[in-house]
Amino acid sequence: MTEQLEPMPTDWRRALAVVAHPDDLEYGCAAAIAGWTDEGREVAYLLATRGEAGIDALEPEKCAPLREREQRASAAVVGVSGVEFLDHRDGVIEYGLPLRRDIAGAIRKYRPELVVTLNHRDTWGGVAWNTPDHRAVGRATLDAAADAGNRWIFPELAESGLLPWNGVRWVAVAGSNAPTHAVDATAGLERSVKSLLAHRTYIEALTDEDPEAYCRTFLTDHARAEGERFGGRPAVTFELFTR
Ligand SMILES: [Zn+2]
């Protein structure tokens, strides 16, 4: 029998999800977020870019506001109203102090116990090369969870009113090659389809399939495959780093 994943911790109130692009959370993670907001937990999103380099036929300055709107609509479907965008450039996000500082500032602002991010490793499952944006944001988020708690790292944040927050207990990495924990996706699965579908302009540029059928098939198959290690229930999996 395949080794089973642990259920995610439930003793927390606030989460902040930090990713590079609009749609990063919707490709697999949003069903978990819908379940969390159903339970009365607060979840906010922080996006490093507006995904302005994501649609070949659309120039970045036209693409950015459109994808921002689609991301806000997508978040609302799963009960998330707080959506913030940093001004890093899509496709060329650099891992470094400015990115760590921006994420640490958001962690101080939202004071989450749980931080969620996306696969920070070189590959997806050892078979597909990951993008530099995902690697940079994932790694900077794991680092910023600690930065946020140290008043001597980025002291300019405290000077602008963002006081240290050392309350992050876990960073959960979605899309990891080495998941340790999972959330039952059953209750949130249908809303996760609607949430991904809210990125309609992006999806329509990506595939000739019917957008809704594409979203439903992708997310349902994904949740079912992930669930093989979670008692056979459809699941969203995470690699959990405890602090
Ligand atoms: Zn992405």
* Cβ(90)–Cβ(49) below 8 Å: yes
Element (H, E) at 191: helix 189-197
Cα 86 to middle of ligand 1, angstroms = 14
Question: What would the pLDDT profile of 124-163 be if each residue is shown by its tens digit?
Answer: 999 999 999 999 999 999 999 999 999 999 999 999 999 9
Q: Which domain holds residue 198?
A: 6-242
Q: How many domains does the chain have?
A: 1
Q: Over 90: is that where the pLDDT of 20 sits?
A: yes
The mean pLDDT value for 23-28 works out to 96
Element (H, E) at 193: helix 189-197
73 located within any domain: yes
187 located within any domain: yes
pTM over 0.95: yes
Q: Taking the CB of residue 121, how many other CB atoms lie within 10 A of it?
A: 18
Tell me the residue type at 208: D
Counting residues of the chain whose pLDDT is more than 90, the rounded percentage is: 98
Which residues, at least 6 apart from 153, have a Cβ–Cβ distance to it below 8 Å?
A: 104, 147
Cα 102 to middle of ligand 1, angstroms = 18
The mean pLDDT value for 215-234 works out to 97
167 located within any domain: yes
Cα 20 to middle of ligand 1, angstroms = 6
What pLDDT shows up at residue 2? 67
Question: What would the pLDDT profile of 75-124 be if each residue is shown by its tens digit?
Answer: 999 999 999 999 999 999 999 999 999 999 999 999 999 999 999 999 99
Residues with CB under 5 A from ligand 1 (ion): 20-21, 24
1 located within any domain: no
Mean pLDDT of the residues in the chain: 97
Cα 236 to middle of ligand 1, angstroms = 17
108 located within any domain: yes
Q: Over 80: is that where the pLDDT of 1 sits?
A: no
Cα 233 to middle of ligand 1, angstroms = 26
Cα 155 to middle of ligand 1, angstroms = 30
Question: What would the pLDDT profile of 175-203 be if each residue is shown by its tens digit?
Answer: 999 999 999 999 999 999 999 999 999 99
What pLDDT shows up at residue 3? 86
Q: Over 80: is that where the pLDDT of 15 sits?
A: yes
224 located within any domain: yes
Name which of 176, 48, 46 is nearest 119 in CA terms. Answer: 176
216 located within any domain: yes
The mean pLDDT value for 64-74 works out to 98
Q: Return the CA Rg of the chain.
A: 17
What pLDDT shows up at residue 64? 97
Question: Where residue 89 sits, what CATH number does that domain have?
Answer: 3.40.50.10320
Cα 96 to middle of ligand 1, angstroms = 18
Q: Where are the beta strands (DSSP E) in 105-190?
A: 114-118, 123-124, 128-129, 170-174, 181-184
